[in-house]
Structure 1
Amino acid sequence: MNYLKHLFGTALCILVTVTSYGCNLKAKEPNNTALISTSISEKPAKQYVKIALLLDTSNSMDGLINQAKAQLWDIVNEFTHAKCGNDVRPSLEIALYEYGNDNLSSREGYIRQVIGFSNDLDEISEKLFSLTTNGGEEYCGEVIQTSLKQLDWGKNTDDLKMIFIAGNEPFTQGKLNYKDAAHNAKEKDVIVNTIFCGNYEQGISTMWKNGATLTGGDYMAIDHNRQVVHINTPYDDVIIRLNSKLNNTYISYGSLGRQKKALQSVQDSNAAEMEAAVAVKRSVSKSSRLYKNSQWDLVDAIEDDEEILSELKEEELPQELQGKSESEIKTYINKKKAEREDIQNQIQELNAKREAYIAEHQKEETGELENALLSAIKTQASKKNYTWD
């Protein structure tokens, strides 16, 4: 089951890689305007890493789904430290599809978009935990094509766009030829990476490798039922306790506020029920730049738009802020912001010690998926001049 973890990590890293190259190019382009006037400084264009995960949810894929739930946070944590050549840090968006499930519509090819491209990590986690398995027909070419048509991949050639499709039936099933889907992916500058859940040679003979090769992607074969071994560290309990304090710094507002704050706690519980190490990884993600909740949290919202307080109605504020002046509200928000930053810094410092502990106690052998993913990441990174810090 290490496979999916690395699958996400790979997607993430590779994505990050390409992005950096685009940023690098823009950083080096001569700017004649700058020669005329240095008083105008333009912010570098925003860069995106877009990852679509296409997961087989037929009966045999319970292990795959469980691993996906746990490894979302590995992807986020890896991506947190990535940056482009001009120091721009790309934004991460993840989409999720399920296919090959009898509960899905046969008219839709047993395919369902679970969530489109989103940076709402709590919602992505919620959707992953909502997945269930059931037998069905697995049409790889069709689910790839569906994701290409439905998702907003954008037209920025500097963005890194990737599909990761995982399953265990022949890649050739279905009316739509996978080669046509691969051709369409190349036209959209989307890299297709394939993960066959089974024997490596069987994946080759059933065209999973060819499905990746056609777009310059990577082919991986994994044992999707392999148990992932998490290494517990002396820092885990402290990080989890800090996460509880972190939740208290969120100030919900608007119609979504209460619902989204409750969702935050539910996803903490979902992670903890899987394993303490998963809860720790999620806590680390929540202390990173990628965990932003401007749509329902006033601390994040006011950082994005200082005028938001003047736009909110009294009833849209949390009860503790109703009847307060704007000055009093800002003081309260600034206090919560300072508390949050302090807690996040503590988590990051403890996580650095945690990672050092894991590196010291980890066996040299890693999962086959992990090896494949790291190899793909390094290859892509070398081409795109991406860096991590």
Structure 2
Amino acid sequence: MKTIFICSVLSLFIHISCTAKHKQNTNLAFQNDGVHEIYTAKTDSNTKNIQVALLLDTSNSMDGLIDQAKAQLWEIVNELSYAKCGHHKIKLQIALYEYGNDGLPSQEGFIRQVLPFSEDLDEISKQLFALTTNGGNEYCGKVINTSINQLDWKKNNDHLKLIFIAGNEPFTQGPVNYKDAAIDAMEKGVTINTIFCGNYRQGIDTKWKHGADITYGEYSAIDHNVATVHIATPYDDIILELNNQLNDTYIYYGNRGAQKRMVQQEQDKNAASYSAANAVSRTVSKSSGFYKNKSWDLIDAAEDESFELEEVAKDDLPKELKEKSKAELKQHIAEKSKKRKEIQQKIQELNKKRVTYIKNNRKTEESNLEQALLNAIKKQGEKKSFSWEQ
């Protein structure tokens, strides 16, 4: 009887242990499964994503297109930052592909994923400015298919999931039929928008419009060789001075902190290389909710509930902060955070006046990459309860 009792207890213990271990393993597997992480699932209910995959033709004739992308990135981000969707937090993720360039691997279909979905606006800018053009074969169906399969698209169709493909060769080229690629996109709730760099009618004849129509996307034709016109305003100099003050609020940390701080400064210079007004556009983006750098900036990191300042080693801090106590460091972060919010608020207030000035002084509506993207995003966003207000 005693033996039976002991065996029963042991069996019960083994059963409980195995069940607990199975549950733990199940939870770990669930947590490690990208889109289905427990934390992500929880936050996703409060967040609406705008996922934009840019597929840019980098063949010889596309220098103008790449220039427009570089020159217009920050105005696109600024306009998207005004998105509203009820009480949801809006998150912007941008992915970047290049195609049609002989310098890319032929076995991959002359396609390269430059950047997977990212919220790091500095990194997006850095990669855009690194793009160069070269002659090649433009396989539209192939690059669409690749982006559909490679990217971490949200599974819930309440999110705004968009592909923008821009180029000037027939949409029918390459080993993957664009119709099949479009059907794959539809199955994931992704809308394809096509931007033909050339004559509107020619884009229709070469199936660019049909490529968009299959997924109920937008077709646009632009003059990609027209230089972007940046309108200077009376508020620009003040905003640029505020940008200098804003940069002073960043406290880098970690192995790559100093490097990422340099990238931030480099992208300020890249924006300014087009015009002072473009540098202003970037400054406005840096004052928006989309510009977050918690991976290397202590101010943004401290806003994350899961962040533990105590886990940051002194060696990972800037030289002038290494000797501060944790209490002193927390106080320093709080002061910088307060200052940053004040500066960002001033930039936003000045930007409202700036936007009004630009609207009143813009002579014609331009047909360019920026307008093609924004028109499509707003139109398709409205179908999913997004609104656009400054």
Q: Give TM-score, length-normalised by structure 2.
A: 0.86
- Asked if 1 retains the 8 angstrom alpha-carbon contact of 2:193 and 2:376, the reply is no
Provide closer, same or farther for how the CA distance between residues 362 and 329 of structure 1 changes in structure 2, counting only shifts above 3 A: same
Structure 2: any 5+ residue segments left out of the alignment?
A: 1-41
Provide closer, same or farther for how the CA distance between residues 194 and 299 of structure 1 changes in structure 2, counting only shifts above 3 A: same
Match of 2:367 in 1: 368
Tell me how far apart the structure 2 counterparts of residues 214 and 107 of structure 1 sit (CA, whole Å).
28
Task: Summarize the alignment of residues 187-202 of structure 1 with structure 2, pairs less than 5 Å apart.
Answer: 187-202=187-202
| Letter matched to residue 366 of structure 2 | G
SS at match of 1:90: strand
- Asked if 1 retains the 8 angstrom alpha-carbon contact of 2:50 and 2:92, the reply is yes
Match of 2:343 in 1: 343
| Letter matched to residue 174 of structure 1 | G
Which shows bigger deviation, 252-261 or 299-308? 299-308
What RMSD in Å do the two structures reach over aligned CA positions? 1.7
Provide closer, same or farther for how the CA distance between residues 333 and 225 of structure 1 changes in structure 2, counting only shifts above 3 A: same
- Asked if 1 retains the 8 angstrom alpha-carbon contact of 2:233 and 2:357, the reply is yes
Tell me how far apart the structure 2 counterparts of residues 91 and 105 of structure 1 sit (CA, whole Å).
33
Tell me how far apart the structure 2 counterparts of residues 310 and 105 of structure 1 sit (CA, whole Å).
45
Match of 1:203 in 2: 203
- Asked if 2 retains the 8 angstrom alpha-carbon contact of 1:271 and 1:282, the reply is yes
Match of 1:282 in 2: 282
Structure 1: any 5+ residue segments left out of the alignment?
A: 1-40
Sequence identity, in percent?
60
Give the drift of 1:154. Answer: 2.4
Give the drift of 1:341. Answer: 0.9
Tell me how far apart the structure 1 counterparts of residues 303 and 152 of structure 2 sit (CA, whole Å).
26
- Asked if 2 retains the 8 angstrom alpha-carbon contact of 1:239 and 1:350, the reply is yes
Match of 1:321 in 2: 321
Task: Summarize the alignment of residues 141-290 of structure 1 with structure 2, pairs less than 5 Å apart.
Answer: 141-290=141-290
Provide closer, same or farther for how the CA distance between residues 347 and 371 of structure 1 changes in structure 2, counting only shifts above 3 A: closer
SS at match of 1:136: coil
| Letter matched to residue 158 of structure 1 | D
Give the drift of 1:373. Answer: 5.4
Give the drift of 1:331. Answer: 0.7
Match of 1:47 in 2: 48
- Asked if 2 retains the 8 angstrom alpha-carbon contact of 1:166 and 1:194, the reply is yes
Match of 1:131 in 2: 131
Give the drift of 1:53. Answer: 0.1
Give the drift of 1:374. Answer: 5.8
- Asked if 1 retains the 8 angstrom alpha-carbon contact of 2:193 and 2:212, the reply is yes
Deviations 1:300-349 (A, max 9, x none): 00111365211111211221211211110011111111111111111111
The number of residues matched between the two structures is 347
Give the drift of 1:45. Answer: 3.0
Give the drift of 1:162. Answer: 0.5
Instruction: Name the structure, 1 or 2, with higher relative contact order (CA <8 Å, separation 6+).
Output: 1
SS at match of 2:240: helix
| Letter matched to residue 177 of structure 2 | N
Match of 2:355 in 1: 355
SS at match of 2:116: strand
Give the drift of 1:78. Answer: 1.1
Match of 2:64 in 1: 63
1:295 counterpart = 2:295: yes
- Asked if 1 retains the 8 angstrom alpha-carbon contact of 2:68 and 2:227, the reply is no
